[in-house]
Amino acid sequence: MSKTSFQTKALTKVYTSGETQIHALRGVDIEIPSGEIVVLLGPSGSGKSTFLNIIGGLDQATSGHVHFRGRDLATYSSRELTYFRRENIGFVFQAYNLVPSLTALENVALVTEISPNPLDPMEALDAVGLKDRANHFPSQMSGGEQQRAAIARALAKRPEVLLCDEPTGALDSETGIVVLKAILAVNQKYKTTCIIITHNASIAQLAHRVIHFADGNVAHIELNEVRKSPDEISW
Amino acid sequence: MIGALNKKSLRDIWNIKGQVVAIILVMAAGIAVFVIMFGVLDSLRLTQSTYYDRYQFADVFASLKRAPESVKQRASEIPGVSVIESRVIFGVTLKMKDMIEPASGKIISLPDGRHPLLNNLYLRSGRMLYPNEENAVLADESFFHAHDLELGDKVSVIMNGHRRQLKIVGVVLSPEYVYSIAPGALMPDGKRFGVFWMSRRSLEAAVNMKGAFNDLSLKIERDANIEYVKEHLNLILKPYGGLISYSREEQLSNFFVENELKQLESLGWLAPIIFLSVAAFLINVVMSRQIATQREQIGMLKAVGYSDLEISLHYLKMVLLITSVGALIGLSLGGWMGVGMTEMYANLFHFPILKYSFSVEVMIFSVFFCTIAAVAGTLFAIRSAVNLPPAEAMRPESPEEFKPTFLEKIGLHKQLSFLSRIIFRQLERRPMRAIFSALGMSLALSILIFSFFMEDSMDYLMDVQYDITQREDVNISFVEARPYRALEEIRVLPGVVNVEPIRNVPVSLKFAHFNKRSLITGLIENADLRRVIDSELNPVSMPKQGLAMSKKLADTLHIKVGDILQVEVLEEKQQVLSIPVVAITQEFIGMGLFMDIRELNRILDESPKINGASIMVDPNHSAILYKKLKDIPAIMGLNITSILRQKFEDIIAENLLQMVSINILFACFISFGVIYNTARIAFSERGRELASLRVLGLTRREVAYLLFGELGLITLVSIPLGIWIGKLMVTGMVSTMDTELFRIPTYLSNRTFGVASTIVLVSAAISFYLVWRQVDSIDLVSAQKGVE
């Protein structure tokens, strides 16, 4: 695992709100190797969501560089960012953000229809253990099922990277474990780099690499010699 | 296979079906009114011109005392004249069994053995006349129907002093009598005025006009100068007692038809434009707010890699689907109702043929206009959503800055509960949203007021006409001017409480280069029955000298008080007089010209004469009086004011108010559609917040108070605003409806404000109830998660 997925240099992000300026990122330098599970840990406001949004092409940095496959995202136009997201990034959000008027299968199809090389939507649902819920609407599914549908939607495009912002934040621990297993399965089966934001330090035990954020910067990085399986952790 | 995004469109539409129906309703109503009005107007215009064309309606008319047929030959040699036809026309009195008062009529000659070259007849039923057929006539359809006559029935007429029975052998329509109006009358009245056609030779024999004529009609060549033709015709006819010739524009029936059409046009132009604009504005606001509620989904679509263009197209498809349904319904409704309305008007106007014309341009324009409005609203909302970084769009909108409200700053907040404070802060935080909601409701109210206005205005006009100016119970007219003592003969009849004389003199007016045919009405000073009023509706005493003139006539002639008017009397002596204008009067109907009756007789150089009278009747003796009056042969016409008023109201109810009631119906649709949407969108925008409050332990009642308190306040503000906008629209319309026949008074009754506001309030109540049922069923968990 020597290939690099993302490399950032002096990445900053400043939000202006009225007369006050909020420095969300203060010069982040980081390298994320390909195919790893990376957990971003840190208190609220430490900059981890901002970081995730910028490397996922959802937001633009104020200054600095994000290299992905040798190109700098900072130089991308809005259109190029759209295609970057479409082809390379799968997102999983804390609030699931499924389209309420579409079934699980159709929510997945929403993404496969615009991807160059997608999985069959049913296969994606199967990968997260939701094959038998394919024709249910979000309102007919539990939170864990909705989140797994969201993961299926994210992985169906065969992304290089899966970005998960508090994927278990809204779930109880039992359901959370099911969701984490689904993410791990994706990582193993498709060699997808998975970057997971969490508040929950025990989830960090699943990761190859844990990046601690504090005050808009990387505090320290730890590598897990021994990774636990989801069944072994609890919160 | 239909894509996932298309499925989303369809299901999203289904989810907001209530609002979609409301939007479709507003749009369909706007388009339908537009299509109906223009369809009716275009169709009537086409029908009119086709009818005039096919039945050779003349361009120039002249009446005279008597001329030998050879004079016609001379007139036909005037350069520019293409067709000429001479006729004998004779006024008659009709004694109808079903009427207490006498009716008046005209008998017009028809050439024997050929069709008339001009003013041809359309045979509705029965047959045409045989050559030289005696005592047989063709009757005008409106008279025939008004008296429920049948073919073969006989009418009793007094013609040249002799009573005759004429058999009706056919029922006809004439381009000259599309509106069958007695000279001097204000309204067509098939019951009291009839037109008949008789064989020329028989008529000549009956009225001693052998080899002579007393009426000419002319068709002129397309590029001929009509004024030139008229001038030469006047010169030729003058020795034969010719009155000034007049063109089609001044022909009585055509004048009335034109006036009616003009009125329909101003109502038909302005109303649909207002309706369509209001509908378009509302669709725009509703669509933009509808799309704004989809902000989070737009953020998600962007995050997973949909481009701005794809997202925009997705929502545009949704909007276009809704607008196409609205357009389709609006167009079909408009076409269908337009055909019905056109038929109704064609009957009212007595057009024999009916030509429909629904212009494709009008349809395309109305649909395009609404669609553009919807698309613009959508794009505006999409733009503000796609301009946000997806990560931000996906989050619920972050709380904006709250400040203490104005009410709190002035210390009134202590009076307010905490819930009320939320309402006021909400309003102050998003003033534009509140303003647009209030504006939407105001527009709904204003088009209601605008629609009710015609009825109010007509009622007011009636009141002024019949309670202030024309206060007599009966007015009579004599066959010809009679000496003043005729008045005393009437005064002594049983049941007569008061009687005042009237002298009418037909004139041609000239001031600078402005001309107008008119009638000088001589009234007594300080009249009590037939009065003239000023702009404040106060009675004006008739000036001892000079003319009092209605404002409209003064405007038409561009004349003002103090100017000298040239008056050519269209009676035997044909004097040309110069008379000063001394007063301007207010009149909503007609274009009156008044003078003191003694002064009028003096300048006409006549012994005091009258040709009519206004009578106030003792209601207990009215039946005897009418019978006595009917038996006086000198009396040609008798009008009972209450019947005139009824007739007037009926005619207005039949034509203008038909269109108005369609407006009212659609205005109700629009009001409801708008208010329901406003309430429903307010609910979607705040669903999550309301759910949170429910979770915190607020009762459903309290949550409803929060939502509807805000909407209720907006509704209350919208009422005075709507009344103000409604008044503006009315003022705009009045200025376009100023015709020679009518001025529409700018008058709105309190009842209208009441009814219009009630419709808005009831729409609001129903909408609130429908939304309340949704508040009632907020799924607390899913609402918290952002799933609607």
Residue B305 has its nearest CB partner, among A78, A86, A143, at A86
Whole-number pLDDT of residue B141:
92
How close B11 comes to chain A (CA, Å)?
Answer: 6
Asked if residue B392 belongs to a domain, the reply is yes
How close B418 comes to chain A (CA, Å)?
Answer: 27
- The answer to whether the CB atoms of A100 and B788 lie below 8 A apart is yes
- Nearest CA-CA partner of B365 in B272, B469, B243: B272
pLDDT tens sequence across B320-369: 888 899 999 999 998 898 888 888 887 778 888 888 888 888 888 888 88
State mean pLDDT over B171-180: 91
In this complex, is the C-beta atom of A133 within 8 Å of any C-beta atom belonging to chain B? Answer: no
State mean pLDDT over B430-454: 84
In this complex, is the C-beta atom of B297 within 8 Å of any C-beta atom belonging to chain A? Answer: yes
pLDDT tens sequence across B298-313: 888 888 888 888 888 8
pLDDT tens sequence across B465-475: 888 888 899 88
Provide DSSP, B496-563.
EEEEEEEEEEEEEEEETTEEEEEEEEEE-TT-SSB-EE-TTS-EEPPPSSSEEEEHHHHHHHT--TTP
The CATH number assigned to the domain holding A102 equals 3.40.50.300
Choose the weakest-confidence range: B101-105, B237-241, B585-589.
Answer: B101-105
Residue A82 has its nearest CB partner, among B15, B305, B392, at B305
Whole-number pLDDT of residue B693:
75
The sign one gets for the Cα dihedral B247, B252, B253, B255 is: positive
Q: Alpha-carbon distance A224 to A37, whole Å?
A: 10
Identify the band that residue B149 occupies on the pLDDT scale cut at 50, 70 and 90: very high
Query: Locate tokens 């007393």: which residue?
Result: B214
Whole-number pLDDT of residue B407:
66
The number of distinct structural domains making up chain B is 2
Asked if residue B558 belongs to a domain, the reply is yes
The sign one gets for the Cα dihedral B228, B232, B238, B241 is: negative
- The answer to whether the CB atoms of B300 and A107 lie below 8 A apart is no
Asked if residue B237 belongs to a domain, the reply is no
Percent of chain A with pLDDT over 90: 34
- Tell me the CA distances in angstroms from B583 to B97, B542, B551, B556, B595, one per residue in order: 44, 9, 9, 15, 10
CB contacts under 8 A, B 376-395 vs A, are 389-392, 394
In this complex, is the C-beta atom of B305 within 8 Å of any C-beta atom belonging to chain A? Answer: yes
- Nearest CA-CA partner of B192 in B150, B151, B140: B140
State mean pLDDT over B729-737: 81
Q: Alpha-carbon distance B363 to B35, whole Å?
A: 6
Q: Alpha-carbon distance B262 to B256, whole Å?
A: 10
Whole-number pLDDT of residue B536:
85
- The answer to whether the CB atoms of B4 and A107 lie below 8 A apart is yes
The sign one gets for the Cα dihedral B459, B462, B464, B467 is: negative
pLDDT at residue B399 tops 60: no
Asked if residue B153 belongs to a domain, the reply is no
Asked if residue A70 belongs to a domain, the reply is no
Query: B301: which chain A residues are within 8 Å (Cβ-Cβ)?
Result: 110
Q: Quote the mean pLDDT of chain B.
A: 85
pLDDT at residue B506 tops 50: yes
Percent of chain A with pLDDT over 70: 99
Whole-number pLDDT of residue B147:
92
H helix and E strand count, chain A: 6, 10
In this complex, is the C-beta atom of B3 within 8 Å of any C-beta atom belonging to chain A? Answer: yes
In this complex, is the C-beta atom of B400 within 8 Å of any C-beta atom belonging to chain A? Answer: no
- The answer to whether the CB atoms of A115 and B391 lie below 8 A apart is no
pLDDT at residue B29 tops 90: no
Whole-number pLDDT of residue B739:
73
Identify the band that residue B184 occupies on the pLDDT scale cut at 50, 70 and 90: low
- The answer to whether the CB atoms of B307 and A79 lie below 8 A apart is yes
- The answer to whether the CB atoms of B389 and A53 lie below 8 A apart is yes
State mean pLDDT over B228-234: 91
- The answer to whether the CB atoms of A153 and B304 lie below 8 A apart is yes
Q: How many CB pairs under 8 A join A and B?
A: 92
Whole-number pLDDT of residue A207:
92
How close A158 comes to chain B (CA, Å)?
Answer: 12
> Between these two residues, B286 and B571, which has the higher pLDDT value?
B571
Whole-number pLDDT of residue B785:
46
In this complex, is the C-beta atom of A96 within 8 Å of any C-beta atom belonging to chain B? Answer: yes
Query: B307: which chain A residues are within 8 Å (Cβ-Cβ)?
Result: 79, 82-83
Query: B293: which chain A residues are within 8 Å (Cβ-Cβ)?
Result: none
State mean pLDDT over A212-216: 92
pLDDT tens sequence across A39-86: 999 888 899 989 998 998 888 899 999 999 888 998 888 888 888 888
Q: Which helix (H) or strand (E) holds B146?
A: helix B141-146
Residue A174, domain extent: 34-62+78-226
pLDDT at residue B647 tops 70: yes
How close A228 comes to chain B (CA, Å)?
Answer: 30
Identify the band that residue B414 occupies on the pLDDT scale cut at 50, 70 and 90: low
Q: Nearest 5°: CA angle at B302, between A102 and A131? A: 35
pLDDT tens sequence across B254-267: 988 888 888 777 76
How many residues in chain B?
Answer: 788
- The answer to whether the CB atoms of B4 and A86 lie below 8 A apart is no
In the numeric block, which tokens belong to residue A50? 């901002």
State mean pLDDT over A154-173: 87
Whole-number pLDDT of residue B788:
36
Pairing of strands B609-617, B474-483: antiparallel
Q: Alpha-carbon distance B313 to B231, whole Å?
A: 68
Residue B228 near residue B80 (C-beta atoms within 8 A): yes
In this complex, is the C-beta atom of B399 within 8 Å of any C-beta atom belonging to chain A? Answer: no
- Count CA atoms within 13 Å of residue B696 on its CB side: 9
> Between these two residues, B191 and B140, which has the higher pLDDT value?
B140
Identify the band that residue B203 occupies on the pLDDT scale cut at 50, 70 and 90: very high
Residue B305 has its nearest CB partner, among A78, A85, A143, at A85
State mean pLDDT over B228-252: 88
In this complex, is the C-beta atom of B563 within 8 Å of any C-beta atom belonging to chain A? Answer: no
In this complex, is the C-beta atom of B784 within 8 Å of any C-beta atom belonging to chain A? Answer: no
DSSP 3-state of A39: strand
Provide DSSP, A126-139.
HHTT-GGGTT--GG
Residue A114 has its nearest CB partner, among B306, B308, B390, at B306
Choose the weakest-confidence range: B87-96, B373-382, B443-452, B463-472.
Answer: B373-382
Whole-number pLDDT of residue B34:
84
Asked if residue B781 belongs to a domain, the reply is no
Residue B640 near residue B102 (C-beta atoms within 8 A): no
Whole-number pLDDT of residue B629:
81
In the numeric block, which tokens belong to residue B230? 């008229």
pLDDT at residue B784 tops 70: no
Asked if residue A134 belongs to a domain, the reply is yes
Whole-number pLDDT of residue B787:
39
Give the best residue of B1, B10, B14, B300 to mutate against chain A (max A CB count within 10 A): B300
Q: Nearest 5°: CA angle at A104, between A99 and A109? A: 80
Whole-number pLDDT of residue A1:
43
Q: Nearest residue of B to residue A61 by CA position?
A: B389
- Nearest CA-CA partner of B749 in B452, B507, B469: B452
Q: Nearest residue of B to residue A106 by CA position?
A: B4
Identity of the amino acid at B578: S
- C-alpha B396 chain-centroid distance: 52
Whole-number pLDDT of residue B786:
44
State mean pLDDT over B119-138: 93
| B384: CB partners within 8 A, 6+ apart | B292
How close B7 comes to chain A (CA, Å)?
Answer: 7
Asked if residue B382 belongs to a domain, the reply is yes
Identify the band that residue B635 occupies on the pLDDT scale cut at 50, 70 and 90: confident
pLDDT at residue A235 tops 70: no
Measured from the Cβ of residue B488, the count of other Cβ atoms closer than 10 Å reads: 10
pLDDT at residue B514 tops 80: yes
Q: Nearest residue of B to residue A110 by CA position?
A: B4
Residue B786 has its nearest CB partner, among A79, A95, A154, at A95
State mean pLDDT over B776-785: 57
Query: B312: which chain A residues are within 8 Å (Cβ-Cβ)?
Result: none
What is the ipTM metric for this complex? 0.80
How close A77 comes to chain B (CA, Å)?
Answer: 12
In this complex, is the C-beta atom of A209 within 8 Å of any C-beta atom belonging to chain B? Answer: no
DSSP 3-state of A33: strand
Q: Alpha-carbon distance B493 to B473, whole Å?
A: 15
Q: Alpha-carbon distance B457 to B445, whole Å?
A: 18
Check residue A229 and report its DSSP letter: P
Inter-residue long-range contacts of B317-321, CB under 8 Å, 24+ positions, other chains counted: B317/B6, B317/B9, B318/B9, B318/B12, B318/B13, B319/B287, B319/B374, B319/B375, B319/B378, B320/B371, B320/B374, B320/B375, B321/B9, B321/B13
Q: Alpha-carbon distance B749 to B7, whole Å?
A: 51
pLDDT at residue B425 tops 80: no
Residue B364, domain extent: 11-63+252-398
The sign one gets for the Cα dihedral B130, B135, B139, B145 is: negative
Buried b (16+ CB within 10 A) or exposed e, B302-341: bbbbbbbeebbebbbebbbebbebbbebbbebbbebbbeb
Give the best residue of A20, A52, A110, A175 to mutate against chain B (max B CB count within 10 A): A110
Choose the weakest-confidence range: B449-453, B563-567, B690-694.
Answer: B690-694
State mean pLDDT over B34-53: 89
Q: Which helix (H) or strand (E) holds B91?
A: strand B89-95
Inter-residue long-range contacts of B245-252, CB under 8 Å, 24+ positions, other chains counted: B245/B60, B245/B61, B245/B62, B245/B216, B246/B60, B246/B61, B246/B62, B246/B517, B247/B59, B247/B60, B247/B61, B248/B57, B248/B58, B248/B59, B248/B60, B248/B61, B250/B517, B251/B61, B251/B176, B252/B179, B252/B181, B252/B183
- The answer to whether the CB atoms of A95 and B394 lie below 8 A apart is yes
Cα of first residue to Cα of last residue in chain B, in angstroms, is 27
Asked if residue B294 belongs to a domain, the reply is yes
Query: A114: which chain B residues are within 8 Å (Cβ-Cβ)?
Result: 305-306, 310
Whole-number pLDDT of residue B332:
93
Query: Locate tokens 């001892």: which residue?
Result: B544
pLDDT at residue B483 tops 60: yes
